[in-house]
């Protein structure tokens, strides 16, 4: 059984999720400070775990396009990164693209914080066009 594509529309305080497991392109976009972090990220982490458990080790591209996330979301995101690193360690090609606005040093620095112990995931810091969000 294959994991179904996970699509969640953005709200004022939770990001758009589009995990297209067939193509291996996973995306988080927008802002993340949900009132209940466990309720929001639980299904997201669950779907990812199920997908990574499947046998076909197809390449994964994770596009991280969050403009802002709070500290509780940061812990959940760290789980995502640890799961991706685990998959990459087992030989699955994984690329993470961490987008930040050109003048947003804080988001750039957060990218560095998250990428520190990624040894098997290929991590790219990328500039997104300014004014793409608030």
CA-to-CA distance for 2 and 11, rounded, in angstroms? 27
Residue 70 found at the interface with another protein (CB under 8 A)? yes
Query: Is the Cβ–Cβ distance between 77 and 69 less than 8 Å?
Result: yes
Residue 129 found at the interface with another protein (CB under 8 A)? no
Contacts to another protein from residues 26-65, by CB under 8 A: 33, 35, 37
Residue 115 found at the interface with another protein (CB under 8 A)? no
Query: Is the Cβ–Cβ distance between 31 and 40 less than 8 Å?
Result: no
Q: Which residues of 20-45 are buried (b: 16+ CB within 10 A; e: fewer)?
A: ebeebebbbbbbbbbeebeebbeebb
* Per-residue x/- track, 79-98, another protein (CB under 8 A): --------------------
The residue ranges that bind another protein (CB under 8 A) are: 12-13, 33, 35, 37, 67-68, 70-72, 74-75, 78, 101, 103-107, 109, 113-114, 116-117, 130-131, 134
């Amino acid at each position: 059984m294959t994991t179904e594509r996970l699509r969640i529309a953005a709200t004022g305080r939770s990001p758009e999720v589009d995990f297209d497991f067939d193509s291996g392109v996973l995306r988080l976009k927008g802002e993340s400070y949900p009132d209940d972090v466990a309720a929001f990220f639980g299904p997201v982490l669950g779907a990812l775990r199920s997908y990574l458990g499947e046998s076909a080790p197809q390449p994964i591209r994770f596009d991280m396009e969050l403009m802002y996330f709070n500290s509780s979301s940061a812990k959940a995101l760290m789980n995502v990164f640890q799961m991706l690193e685990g998959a990459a360690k087992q030989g699955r090609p994984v690329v993470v693209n961490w987008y930040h606005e050109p003048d947003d040093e804080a988001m750039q620095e957060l990218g560095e914080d998250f990428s520190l112990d990624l040894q098997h995931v290929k991590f790219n810091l990328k500039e997104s066009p300014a004014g793409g969000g608030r």
